[in-house]
Structure 1
């Protein structure tokens, strides 16, 4: 019998396989033209297995974004102190993306609000959580405490501008415009361009 630790590792591998298969197919075919059956087959699992992990293909995207937020905040905190906020955010995003065999599915589909008309509330909550997490990380980098309103304001503005850069990147990666898989080299260039636009 598998140990609890081994079972958990197998579950994580299966989840990652499903997410990466979805990202590849979304890039090749677009979100609308990719079915759950397609994703399951590409991941080497059955549809029932897919639904054990995700209620729908939309929830796959939302769940992955939720998982990415705390990881991005941690990577941002770990960037060298000498890096300016935008540079640190850019490098944290690239480090996060490099942890995946293929770019995360969110980069292949556009922002969550583009996926379904009913996800606007979810989109707002994800955006709020992302902004709060990035703001907290930048506050820590700047040494902003409760008695540092100017530093806290700077952190809040920098965080929201950085998140806006990411949303701009996602806005051009929609099923209507993306016809081929996005390579890591292409993603790197897009992320760098998005943050460079903040300095124009």
Structure 2
């Protein structure tokens, strides 16, 4: 451990707003620095010591904000997933399940785009996505998180529709189909040369719009 404790420490008597802004800046500095190091030299080769040295804080400060390196690697995705679930809870009850999930996902990405700053750019997000996909430990964790999100989403859809998710398979089936398309668009985005979030939204809309037609009717032309 380093001996420094220069960030993340509450100053007695300091206004609450000032303390919170300091905490937020410290967390953002750790996140931005970690992601840049992960994508520049590899997740496995980056240590917590390197991250805290670059930010000039202690390991204790790092673990105040993140449980481990994995938590940093998935921090942005965690924000997107949380926003998606929040948006889904707020969708009008009259919307069909697929439409509600579609709009919630697009609004979650729009919120991320609106909050985008000079440090976590779309290009950096794409590099982080590629790093996760190419790092076995992170890829396994990504799949576990994906399954967890599917379970939460299925429960929400069942609640919206007044169904028992254990007795009616439709919520889980719908969410599985939706999640499969979302994962596919992420992979396609990760392979593109255009790293913009606009490109991600376009891919997402294009493929989600095909979900209904792909699951119903014949594909063959007359």
TM-score of the superposed pair, with normalisation by structure 2 = 0.63
Question: Equivalent of 1:64, from 76, 87, 95?
Answer: 76
Which position in structure 1 is the counterpart of 2:3?
none
- Structure 1 segment 3-42 matched on structure 2, within 5 A: 3-16=15-28, 31=39
The CA distance in 2 between the partners of 1:91 and 1:107, in whole Å, is: 22
Give the conservation status (yes or no) of the 8 Å contact 2:80–2:109: no
SS at match of 2:95: coil
* Structure number, greater radius of gyration: 2
Q: Which residue of 2 aligns with 1:195?
A: 208
Q: How many equivalent pairs are there? A: 184
- Structural RMSD (CA): 3.8
Deviations 1:148-168 (A, max 9, x none): 82xx31111111111111111
- Contact 1:61–1:106 (CA under 8 A) maintained in structure 2: no
Q: Counterpart of 1:166?
A: 182
Larger relative CO (CA 8 A, sep 6+): 1 or 2?
1
The CA deviation at 1:6 is 3.5
Inter-partner Cα distance in structure 1 for 2:19 and 2:198: 34
SS of the residue corresponding to residue 162 of structure 1 reads: helix
Offset of residue 145 of structure 1: 3.1
User: Normalised by the size of structure 1, how large is the TM-score?
Assistant: 0.69
Residue in structure 2 matched with residue 136 of structure 1 by the alignment: 155
Q: Could you tell me how far apart the structure 2 residues matched to 1:191 and 1:47 are?
A: 39
Q: How many Å apart are 1:21 and its aligned residue?
A: 8.4
User: How big is the shift at 1:67?
Assistant: 3.7
Cα offsets for 1:118-147 (capped at 9, x unmatched):
22441232012111111111111111136x
Between the aligned partners of 1:106 and 1:129, the Cα distance in structure 2 is 21
SS at match of 1:156: helix
